[in-house]
């Protein structure tokens, strides 16, 4: 901890002391002393003292049941507070490295490099405006923290920011510290674990809250930063309607494997978004109404609002305000399925045009400073969020659409759709797409599953459906999967050219993606339908679970290359949609490096990327943090398009192909072909107990029972993270890299690391995740929970983990893990003495629950759930 920024160290100490005072007041001095004693033992044990480790384990095993929960909660809350301090300090102007921060200087540094490369600054504002970046907020079940606690954590962040703005002797410091202490006490007396699973609508409301509390302020701030830096380099400001970054959401639209997302849920979420957007704009309009009291106005504005010549701006805003009020009433009525009246706003231009009219008038009258204040911020928000706030993606699994076609064909006596060849399916679908008669029979009674699909596409045909951005087909494998959805949308009367997005996610589908899209783009009807624009989603989670991380990342890279080439040859403007998660095992990692590691030319048509649960809070939960992260996306995509990296050398690609082939064989040999692997996984990890956590609206499994293949990628990774083996991120890469080294190719790997951004990013992510792995902790889980005959397998896995650590260091030529990332290394060092006891306690609690489930008390159950939350906080990116 001594190597941390001193101010950050002081913040962590201050919050820890306040938490200690709260625990003492609530639980007594004895409990606080117990927590502190355990922390010191854990710190000494982490330093290599085996006697202290044994004493620590003895202490934890013998904790009285009534002490278990407060001890676990104490460690959990300290980790949450340390995370808050760490994150807030990362954007503080008072941090030690503030003036040298690469994140803060990334965009101006890029402008300088573009200038050096001969890229004229004159056209940059138009290039930035056309970047077409869309961040898609998802609610995957790894965000353990309750929303009420998130709000309190956000309040602590704001208070820490206020403290940074005051000098050390400022009289207000005492008041701020009192408010901090009060918040920590409120947190302590609030249950960490949800009692009930959130609904899909609850998740959507959480997504709207992120917009309200952070992104609403961050977007115009980010645009101001870009404008100022462009002007400083002699360029021009961004166009008024520029929105280089927009937002979409899966919350309430992602029904793949989630029976809780119904057509009614999607409909309700769409109208809630309209209501929330109107409410936020009303606040802006009320502020502008107070500001724009001037009389001088353009003839254009006076003609539009002739009834109030003394205050024409307020006349305009009053009319807009009335329509926003109508919009809220309309949206609320639609949610309740009640008749409404009034004149709601249903299109973005209805909101944007009056505001830009006021803006032009102020400029004409010489009031540029006023125009470029709150009014410009509101215009920027409208350009970004529109009347829908966030556009909703609808996602469904391909077999559900095939099921609709099957029932329709059987009803009409047309045959067995599911048994047809791909060519037969395409012929049928194209014939029906050209037909003028309805596809779905009027008085037909389909199965419940088919009815749900039809009701969903019916929602897309309503006014609410205007807020839906696209229809994503997961497990897409053939052109018929896309044509079937296009037919259902057409038959329901959904707007023309509605985007249909195939999602290729298994290894086989990624390898065939380009060929299948080529076949689709060769269909004249579809080329006309998509208007030569196509979005294709690349799956990260399922491909990694299917083939291992090494083979998956190479398949994803090659799929992007091939799709980019094929789209160019077909005259299609392609946007790739990256289904990344928070962890390395799900494609996670720093956004800037991840984007620059993509194949050259693959982001020319823009970039869509998912941002999930906990990572939304870490990256976009606070306005200043969100502003910086949004600029990272803008900088990276601009750089990838204007200063693309050199294509990879042929010998590197050949080496990568060999590595991937060895990696997938090694991974599958363990996960699929080792008989005892599934038993070991379920014994050594808390996977069987994860279902007790009310994590999200989606079930952990696609279907009940089955093996690893039925488990979703998120709980698969979450479970391994809890016991610190981190297996999904490295299994397979160990043997592949070792084989390469044995054949004398280490110098080639070192050169690839040095000169190929893709490979460097992969190895850096591998380094990060294995630095978080801990063989000693994994072994303790095994010793406590796994039958003796399975423990040999665990020993083999830990040896393989050690091997991959050695290989990473050989490739990046470092002496120790994270030598080149000292901030992350020191941050983990701060958390270890608090995370380690939670691991040991979790193993102990799992042992008690599994040995004697009939006598496990509610206190033990709750303590187990809290250990999961605490370890997730300590690991940061858990699923």
Active site includes 545? yes
The C-alpha atoms of residue 362 and residue 384 are separated, in whole angstroms, by: 22
Main-chain phi, psi angles of 117, to 5 degrees: -80, 0
- Percent helix, strand, coil in the chain, to 5, is 65, 5, 25
Shortest CA distance to 780 belongs to which of 769, 791, 771, 768? 791
Concatenating the DSSP letter of every residue in 326-360 gives: HHHHHHHHHHTT----S----SHHHHHHHHHHHHH
The C-alpha atoms of residue 424 and residue 478 are separated, in whole angstroms, by: 12
Shortest CA distance to 358 belongs to which of 300, 398, 307, 403? 300
Catalytic residue among 545, 619, 772, 805: 545
Catalytic residue among 11, 43, 89, 140: 140
Element (H, E) at 455: helix 448-460
Residue 691 DSSP symbol: G
Concatenating the DSSP letter of every residue in 727-741 gives: HHHHTTHHHHHHHHH
Shortest CA distance to 604 belongs to which of 239, 243, 129, 131? 131
The C-alpha atoms of residue 860 and residue 855 are separated, in whole angstroms, by: 10
* Cβ pair 586, 544 in contact under 8 A: yes
> How remote is the C-alpha of 858 from its chain's centroid?
33
The C-alpha atoms of residue 25 and residue 188 are separated, in whole angstroms, by: 11
Q: How many residues does the chain have?
A: 879
Active site includes 140? yes
SS3 460: helix
- Contacts by residues 352-356 (CB-CB < 8 Å, ≥ 24 positions apart): 352/241, 352/379, 352/382, 352/383, 354/304, 354/316, 354/317, 354/319, 354/320, 355/320, 355/379, 355/382, 356/240, 356/241
Residue 132 DSSP symbol: -
Look up residue 235 and give its two tokens.
């360029």
Please list, residue by residue across 114-131, b when 16 or more beta carbons sit within 10 angstroms of its beta carbon and e when fewer do. beeeebebeebbeebbeb
The C-alpha atoms of residue 869 and residue 777 are separated, in whole angstroms, by: 17
Q: 610's torsion region: left (phi>0), alpha (psi -120 to 50) or beta?
A: beta
SS3 227: helix
> How remote is the C-alpha of 751 from its chain's centroid?
32
The C-alpha atoms of residue 621 and residue 665 are separated, in whole angstroms, by: 40
Look up residue 506 and give its two tokens.
């298994």
The C-alpha atoms of residue 698 and residue 261 are separated, in whole angstroms, by: 9
Q: 475's torsion region: left (phi>0), alpha (psi -120 to 50) or beta?
A: left
The C-alpha atoms of residue 377 and residue 352 are separated, in whole angstroms, by: 12
- Catalytic center residues: 140, 545
């Amino acid at each position: 901890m001594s190597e941390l920024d001193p101010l950050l160290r002081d913040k962590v100490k201050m919050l820890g002391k306040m938490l200690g005072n709260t625990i003492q007041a609530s639980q007594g001095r004895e409990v606080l002393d117990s927590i502190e004693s355990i922390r010191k033992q854990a710190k000494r044990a982490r330093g290599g003292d085996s006697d202290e480790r044994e004493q620590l384990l003895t202490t934890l095993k013998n904790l009285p049941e009534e002490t278990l929960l407060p001890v676990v909660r104490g460690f959990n809350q300290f980790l949450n507070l340390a995370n808050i301090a760490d994150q807030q300090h990362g954007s503080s102007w008072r941090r030690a490295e503030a003036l040298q921060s690469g994140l803060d200087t990334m965009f101006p540094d890029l402008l300088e490099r573009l200038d050096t490369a001969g890229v004229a600054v004159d056209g940059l504002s138009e290039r930035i405006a056309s970047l077409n970046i869309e961040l898609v907020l998802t609610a995957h079940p790894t965000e353990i923290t309750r929303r009420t606690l998130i709000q309190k954590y956000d309040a602590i962040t704001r208070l820490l920011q206020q403290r940074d703005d005051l000098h050390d002797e400022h009289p207000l410091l005492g008041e701020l510290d009192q408010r901090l202490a009060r918040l920590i006490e409120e947190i302590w007396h609030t249950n960490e674990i949800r009692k009930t699973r959130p609904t899909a609508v609850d998740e959507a409301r959480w997504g709207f809250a992120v917009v309200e509390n952070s992104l609403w302020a961050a977007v115009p701030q980010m645009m101001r930063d870009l404008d100022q830096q462009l002007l400083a380099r002699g360029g021009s400001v961004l166009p008024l309607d520029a929105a280089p970054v927009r937002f979409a959401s899966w919350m309430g639209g992602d029904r793949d494997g989630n029976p809780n997302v119904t057509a009614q849920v999607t409909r309700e979420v769409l109208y809630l978004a309209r209501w929330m957007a109107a409410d936020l704009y009303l606040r802006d309009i009320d502020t502008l109404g107070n500001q724009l009291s001037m009389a001088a106005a353009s003839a254009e504005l006076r003609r539009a609002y002739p009834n109030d010549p003394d205050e024409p701006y307020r006349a305009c805003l009053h009319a807009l305000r009335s329509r926003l009020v109508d919009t809220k009433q309309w949206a609320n009525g639609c949610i309740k399925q009640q008749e409404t009246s009034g004149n709601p706003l249903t299109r973005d231009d209805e909101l944007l045009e009056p505001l830009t009219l006021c803006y032009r008038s102020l400029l004409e009258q010489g009031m540029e400073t006023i125009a470029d204040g709150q009014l410009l911020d509101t215009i920027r928000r409208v350009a970004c969020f529109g009347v829908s706030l966030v556009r909703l993606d609808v996602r469904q699994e391909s077999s559900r659409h095939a099921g609709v076609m099957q029932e329709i064909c059987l009803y009409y006596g047309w045959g067995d759709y599911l048994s047809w060849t791909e060519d037969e399916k395409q012929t049928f679908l194209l014939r029906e797409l050209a037909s003028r008669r309805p596809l779905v029979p009027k008085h037909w009674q389909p199965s419940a599953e088919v009815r749900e699909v039809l009701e969903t596409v019916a929602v897309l045909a309503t006014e609410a459906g205007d807020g839906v951005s696209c229809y994503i087909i997961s497990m897409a494998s053939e052109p018929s999967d896309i044509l079937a959805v296009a037919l259902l949308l057409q038959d329901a009367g959904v707007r023309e050219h509605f985007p249909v997005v195939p999602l290729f996610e298994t290894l086989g589908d990624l390898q065939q993606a380009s060929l299948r899209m080529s076949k689709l783009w060769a269909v004249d009807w579809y080329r006309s339908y998509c208007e030569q624009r196509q979005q294709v989603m690349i799956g990260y989670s399922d491909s990694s679970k299917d083939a291992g991380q090494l083979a998956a990342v190479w398949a994803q890279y090659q799929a992007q290359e091939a799709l980019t080439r094929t789209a160019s040859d077909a005259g299609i403007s392609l946007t790739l949609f990256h289904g990344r998660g928070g962890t390395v095992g799900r494609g996670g990692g720093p956004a800037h490096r991840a984007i620059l590691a993509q194949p050259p030319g693959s982001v020319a048509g823009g970039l869509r990327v998912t941002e999930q649960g906990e990572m939304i809070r870490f990256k976009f939960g606070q306005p200043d943090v969100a502003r910086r992260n949004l600029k990272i996306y803008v900088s990276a995509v601009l750089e990838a398009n204007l200063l693309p990296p050199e294509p990879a050398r042929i010998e590197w690609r050949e080496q990568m192909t060999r590595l991937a082939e060895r990696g997938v064989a090694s991974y599958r040999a363990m996960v699929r072909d080792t008989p005892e692997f599934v038993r070991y996984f379920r014994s050594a990890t808390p996977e069987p107990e994860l279902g007790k956590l009310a994590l999200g609206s989606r079930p952990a499994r696609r279907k009940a029972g089955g093996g690893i293949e039925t488990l979703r990628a998120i709980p698969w990774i979450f479970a391994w993270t809890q016991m610190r083996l981190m297996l999904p991120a490295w299994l397979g890469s160990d043997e592949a890299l070792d084989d390469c080294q044995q054949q004398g190719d280490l110098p080639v790997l070192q050169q690839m690391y040095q000169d190929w951004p893709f490979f460097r990013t992969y190895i850096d992510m591998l380094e990060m995740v294995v630095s978080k792995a801990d063989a000693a902790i994994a072994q303790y889980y095994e010793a406590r929970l796994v039958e003796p005959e399975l423990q040999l397998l665990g020993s083999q896995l830990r040896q393989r983990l050690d091997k991959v650590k050695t290989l990473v260091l050989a490739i990046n030529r470092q002496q120790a893990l994270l030598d080149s990332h000292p901030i992350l290394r020191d941050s983990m060092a701060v958390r270890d003495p608090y995370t380690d006891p939670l691991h040991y306690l979790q193993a102990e609690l799992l042992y008690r629950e599994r040995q004697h489930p009939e006598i496990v008390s509610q206190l033990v159950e709750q303590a187990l759930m809290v250990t999961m939350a605490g370890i997730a906080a300590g690991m940061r990116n858990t699923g």
